[in-house]
């Protein structure tokens, strides 16, 4: 009751959609080493976000993951996954009992993992002695994001869409948890569009 009297509220939603990312440098390094890399740097995104509402101000956070489509060759498969979480602030540009339109900015942390696995068939015992190659290349760092969200509320059901972008600062790369030198420099930009379903009020 006190929250309603103060003009406060809250809502949260699950989000699913598509995203695009082109990690700087690492793709060329993987291809130069003779492994496949996704020709189209897009894939599926899923995550969640939630906010408390105080007047026009929205305070909250969220997180999401993006899995790019797997690249394959006759000898290897390469998968690329990104994940991030953040604290976020938004501002209600348009608000009524039914609709809410708000931009938001956020800061947090994230990571990227590139997994290269060998494709090898044969005798079971022989493969145990000489298993297919598997390498996990990973990096992490600070994450920054901005997005625009439109929500529609029916009773406590919340539906909407979000479009956003972010930037992951890659602090360094490791291979199978082993630190490396001479790794590719630069960050990882990413963009996404998604639909939202959840609940709450404002």
CATH code of the domain covering residue 88:
2.40.160.20
Q: Does residue 157 form part of some domain? A: yes
- Tokens 């969200």 label which residue? 149
Q: Does residue 179 form part of some domain? A: yes
Tell me: pLDDT of 197 over 80.
yes
**Banded model confidence at residue 36, pLDDT cuts 50, 70, 90:** very high
- CA nearest neighbour of 113 among 150, 71, 50, 68: 68
Look at 70-79, 101-110, 125-134, 192-201 and tell me which has the smallest mean pLDDT. 125-134
Q: Does residue 75 form part of some domain? A: yes
Q: Say how many residues make up the chain.
A: 202
Q: Name the more confident of 116 and 125.
A: 116
Q: Which residues pair with 36 in a beta bridge?
A: none
- pLDDT in the model for residue 7: 53
Q: Does residue 79 form part of some domain? A: yes
Question: Who's near 76: CB < 8 A, 6+ residues apart?
Answer: 35, 36, 116, 117, 118, 119, 133
44 half-sphere exposure, CB direction, 13 A CA radius: 5
Tens of pLDDT, residues 74-85: 899 999 999 999
What domain range is 158 assigned to? 10-189
Q: Does residue 127 form part of some domain? A: yes
Q: Does residue 1 form part of some domain? A: no
Q: Does residue 68 form part of some domain? A: yes
Q: Which residues pair with 89 in a beta bridge?
A: 59, 105
Q: Does residue 121 form part of some domain? A: yes
If one counts the domains in the chain, the total is 1
Strand locations in the chain (E): 8-21, 42-54, 57-68, 71-72, 76-91, 94-95, 99-118, 134-154, 157-168, 173-175, 178-179, 188-201
């Amino acid at each position: 009751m006190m929250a309603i009297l103060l003009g406060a509220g809250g809502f949260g939603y699950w989000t699913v959609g598509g995203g695009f990312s082109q990690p700087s440098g690492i793709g060329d390094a993987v291809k130069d080493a003779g492994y496949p890399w996704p020709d189209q740097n897009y894939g599926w995104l899923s995550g969640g976000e939630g906010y408390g509402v105080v007047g026009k101000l929205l305070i909250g956070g969220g997180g999401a993951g993006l899995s790019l489509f797997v690249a394959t060759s006759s000898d290897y498969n390469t998968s690329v996954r990104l994940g991030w979480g953040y604290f976020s602030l938004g501002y209600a540009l348009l608000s009524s009992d039914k609709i809410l339109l708000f931009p938001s900015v956020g800061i947090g942390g994230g990571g990227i993992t590139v997994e290269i696995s060998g494709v090898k068939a044969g005798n079971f015992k022989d493969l145990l002695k000489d298993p297919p190659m598997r390498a996990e290349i990973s990096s992490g760092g600070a994450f920054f994001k901005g997005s625009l969200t439109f929500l529609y509320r029916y009773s406590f059901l919340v539906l909407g869409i979000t479009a956003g972008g972010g930037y992951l600062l890659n602090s360094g790369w490791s291979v199978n948890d082993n630190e490396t030198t001479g790794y590719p420099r630069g960050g990882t930009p990413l963009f996404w569009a998604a639909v939202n379903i959840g609940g709450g009020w404002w």
